[in-house]
Amino acid sequence: MKPSNKKDFKNISEQEMRRATIKSLVGFSLGAFGLLAGIKWLVTGSDAAGLSRPLRKILEANRKVAGILYSNKNLAPVFSKEQAVSVPRLNGTIGLESSIDLGGWVLSIQNNGNIRGLNKTSMELTIDEIKKLPKTELTFEFKCIEGWSEISNWGGTKFSDFMRVYGLGGLEADNENKNLTEYVSLETPDEAYYVGLDMESALHPQTLLCYEMNGLPLSSEHGAPLRLIVPSKYGIKSIKRIGKIAFVDQRPSDYWAERGYDFYAGL
Ligand SMILES: Nc1nc2c(c(=O)[nH]1)N[C@H]1C(S)=C(S)[C@@H](COP(=O)(O)O)O[C@H]1N2
Ligand SMILES: [Mo]
């Protein structure tokens, strides 16, 4: 991980502002709802079925905000495997310049607390151990912030399954997400490319740790032996050749956020 800098502090306060805004929105809608229900009860004694249009709109808008933040229903459209291009376009080689010794590669993991079954907070996994995790396949339209998109096919494991199996980032096996860390940090082995991911996006059911493309092992240009695929975000977040993953509460350094792109890079 890169040491945090001034920019990170600035971003944390931005995040707090976002939170405060969401809180006040929710508070306003609850207040409005309570007031209206009270008036309804006083005047007609009926339920809220007769909500005025503007107030109903506010309530629905807030439900949408809550839905985006607290559920995983914003799924990217999926396609059949046959619709995927056979040789996806290549983009971005930061952190991939040197050749990789696939046999010697391990994924370094840094957890916020003890890893399940281990009396320690860090561990290493081989690609074979990662391949033992539940397997998922996904064909979706990969979108680069530069303006191109392409349907591509990927195979690997859900990031949430990876977290759940090892009890990483506070995710428990029973799916009770009580003490989740705020972020995940991912870096290439040489630390040249690095991505910060908010926990909501890490847990998104389509966010995958991938070791296959079109049913074959990833080529090194596409991120062998392990890359991230985040269909709910622009391609900048889909880091290739992952070397290190850390579960953290401070917003991690992010290569493209440091260069002026939106940290969330949502679609
Ligand atoms: N390590 C690393 N990962 C990276 C990049 C990079 O430069 N280095 N570029 C990103 C960008 S901008 C895009 S659009 C996708 C492209 O993935 P692809 O080359 O498999 O099409 O990888 C992302 N992951
Ligand atoms: Mo991109």
Nearest to 224 by CA among 44, 80, 136, 104: 104
Pair 114, 231 in one domain: yes
Residue 266 inside a domain? The answer is no
3-state class (DSSP) for residue 38:
helix
265: left (phi over 0), alpha (psi -120 to 50) or beta: left
The total of structural domains in the chain comes to 2
Pair 151, 225 in one domain: yes
Pair 37, 125 in one domain: no
Q: For the segment 17-36, what is each residue's pLDDT rounded down to a tens digit?
A: 455 444 444 444 444 444 44
Q: Which atom of ligand 1 is nearest to the CA of 192?
A: 1
Pair 122, 32 in one domain: no
Residue 77 inside a domain? The answer is yes
Residue 267 inside a domain? The answer is no
What angle do the packed helices 6-43 and 53-70 form, to 10 degrees? 140
Instruction: Report the pocket of ligand 1 as residue ranges, CB < 6 Å.
Output: 88-96, 144, 188, 193, 222, 235-236, 238-241
Mutation probe of ligand 1 site: the residue of 94, 153, 207, 240 with most atoms within 8 A of C-beta: 240
Q: Which atom of ligand 1 is nearest to the CA of 234?
A: 14
Nearest to 123 by CA among 245, 225, 241: 245
pLDDT at 91 over 50: yes
Nearest CA to ligand 1 atom 5: 92
- Cα(238) to ligand 2 centroid in Å equals 9
pLDDT at 38: 41
Whether the CB-CB separation of 251 and 18 falls below 8 Å is answered with no
Pair 239, 209 in one domain: yes
pLDDT at 172: 79
Pair 90, 169 in one domain: yes
Pair 194, 237 in one domain: yes
Pair 92, 127 in one domain: yes
Q: Given pLDDT bands bounded at 50, 70 and 90, which one contains residue 261?
A: very high
Pair 141, 9 in one domain: no
Residue 92: CA atoms inside 13 Å, Cβ hemisphere, count?
Answer: 22
Residue 50 inside a domain? The answer is no
Query: pTM, whole model, 2 decimals?
Result: 0.76
Q: For the segment 198-221, what is each residue's pLDDT rounded down to a tens digit?
A: 999 999 999 999 999 999 999 999
pLDDT at 175: 55
Nearest CA to ligand 1 atom 20: 222
Pair 122, 40 in one domain: no
Domain that holds residue 30: 1-44
Nearest CA to ligand 1 atom 2: 240
Residue 264 inside a domain? The answer is no
Q: Given pLDDT bands bounded at 50, 70 and 90, which one contains residue 74?
A: confident
Nearest CA to ligand 1 atom 10: 236
More confident call, 135 vs 26: 135
Residue 255 inside a domain? The answer is yes
Q: Given pLDDT bands bounded at 50, 70 and 90, which one contains residue 99?
A: very high
Pair 20, 90 in one domain: no
Pair 72, 173 in one domain: yes
Q: Show the tokens assigned to 25.
A: 């929105």
3-state class (DSSP) for residue 166:
helix
Residue 162, domain CATH: 3.90.420.10
Q: For the segment 141-187, what is each residue's pLDDT rounded down to a tens digit?
A: 999 999 999 999 999 999 999 999 999 999 976 655 568 999 999 99
